[in-house]
């Protein structure tokens, strides 16, 4: 099962649109208890490994993505968590009435829950600092660029594999992106991560004395690196099959990253990428 859920410290006033009296209740501990309870249930039922049964005893229905995540289940989980975490707490236990006071409609709670679950993905990816240190090693001659790329991609795979919010994002993006509030959150995530990888690519190329081919920019390269990581991890969620000889996720991401560097770096020939492709075909 997934690791314990991360704690969040940011102000939720602007993130939660469905809470009644949001200015007063968005950051109230009871509000967080209900959201944490719902997120635990999301992880328990949606973030299972292949073949692992759901705690609920069955799969969520496809007709209504979160129909299984009822008010009663959320309140019960919040109560159980209170007992496990702080049995001596003098505050009253979470109740259905307290839930209904905050969210008049279950759909409103589910929408806020999705935004809450995506919050960690809105932050700058922490693996960027690690990747920058690895490139610094190449710059001073301590390691080879192929080895550095392998280290960076292995860390990216490890971090994303352990990231609950990333796995939920994949599910939510595939099923609920039509909702305007969810779409805004997903766009914020994409912007943050693309900008981070764009900055990393620009700084790394400068450290290594590389420039881009004419017609390309670092925004494109940053987006391509981010998309490669997400795409590889989406494939990594597939259950392993006997005889299915797909490369390991880290090896596949390393291959894509190396290909991007080779394709985008200017080798001094002054040619655009399309011209090189035309040249390849003409050499047959």
Give residue limits of the domains in the chain: 22-116, 123-268
Distance in angstroms (rounded) separating the CA atoms of residues 235 and 231: 6
**Range 237-260 average pLDDT:** 86
Residues ≥6 apart with Cβ < 8 Å to 48: 1, 54
Q: Who has greater pLDDT, 223 or 235?
A: 223
Distance in angstroms (rounded) separating the CA atoms of residues 200 and 195: 9
* Topology given in CATH for the domain delimited by 123-268: Tetracycline Repressor; domain 2 (1.10.357)
Partners of 265 in beta bridges: 212
The DSSP call for residue 260 is H
pLDDT in tens, 197-206: 999 999 999 9
Averaged confidence pLDDT in the chain: 87
Token pair listed for 160:
């994303």
Token pair listed for 141:
């001659």
261-274 residues labelled b (16+ CB within 10 A) or e (exposed): beebbeeeeebeee
CA 25 to chain centre: 27
Name the pTM for this structure: 0.79
pLDDT in tens, 165-176: 999 999 888 888
């Amino acid at each position: 099962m997934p690791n314990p859920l991360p704690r969040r410290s940011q102000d939720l006033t602007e993130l939660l649109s469905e809470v009644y009296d949001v200015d007063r209740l968005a950051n109230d501990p009871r509000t967080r208890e209900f959201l944490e309870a719902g997120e635990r249930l999301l992880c328990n039922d949606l973030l299972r490994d292949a073949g692992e049964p759901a705690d609920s005893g069955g799969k969520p229905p496809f007709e209504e993505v979160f129909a299984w995540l009822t008010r009663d289940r959320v309140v019960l989980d919040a109560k159980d968590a209170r007992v496990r975490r702080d049995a001596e707490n003098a505050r009253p236990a979470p109740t259905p009435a307290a839930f209904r006071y905050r969210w008049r409609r279950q759909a409103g709670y589910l929408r806020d829950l999705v935004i809450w679950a995506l919050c960690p993905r809105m932050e700058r990816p922490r693996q960027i600092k690690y990747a920058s240190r690895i490139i610094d090693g190449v710059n001073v001659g301590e390691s080879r660029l192929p080895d550095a790329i392998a280290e960076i991609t292995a860390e990216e795979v490890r971090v994303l594999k352990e990231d609950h919010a990333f796995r939920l994002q994949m599910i939510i993006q595939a099923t609920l992106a039509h909702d305007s509030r969810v779409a805004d959150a997903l766009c914020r995530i994409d912007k943050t991560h693309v900008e981070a990888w764009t900055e990393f690519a620009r700084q790394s190329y400068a450290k290594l004395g590389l420039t881009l081919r004419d017609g390309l920019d670092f925004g494109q390269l940053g987006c391509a690196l981010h998309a490669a990581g997400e795409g590889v991890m989406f494939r990594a969620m597939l259950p392993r099959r006997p005889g299915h000889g797909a490369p390991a996720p880290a090896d596949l991401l390393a291959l894509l990253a190396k290909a991007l560097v080779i394709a985008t770096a200017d080798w001094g020939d002054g040619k655009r990428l399309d011209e090189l492709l035309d040249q390849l075909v003409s050499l047959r």
